[in-house]
Amino acid sequence: DAGVTQSPTHLIKTRGQHVTLRCSPISGHKSVSWYQQVLGQGPQFIFQYYEKEERGRGNFPDRFSARQFPNYSSELNVNALLLGDSALYLCASRVGRVNTGELFFGEGSRLTVL
């Protein structure tokens, strides 16, 4: 079975641009979460979507938005990119909404903002 897949794996943007990152969860998983991992830090929670609705949001500005589609795949959008948005963006999926059961991470999308 395929794991969590993310695209693109690497991308370079300039300040002020917009970026869309995509995630396909493991088949049967209805919950998708997004985390930002800055170099030298642990992942920081951005969003959780469950059954196509936002169920939780971390301490990130409104420039960050996301959505989940009927097939449970998800997109993370970041507007007006700043240098500080450079990070590894991780998508993770699990079967249910709350912290029961394993959380499976994708390999991430490495965003560099110049």
Contacting positions for another protein (CB under 8 A): 4, 31, 33, 35, 40-45, 48, 50, 55-56, 58, 90, 92, 97-99, 102-108
**Secondary structure in 3-state letters for 28-82:** CCCEEEEEEECCCCCCEEEEEEECCEEEEECCCCCCEEEEECCCCCEEEEECCCC
Of residues 17 and 41, the one with the C-beta less far from another protein: 41
| Minimum separation from the CB atom of position 89 to another protein (A) | 10
Q: 50 or 72, CB closer to another protein?
A: 50
**Smallest distance from another protein to CB 48, Å:** 5
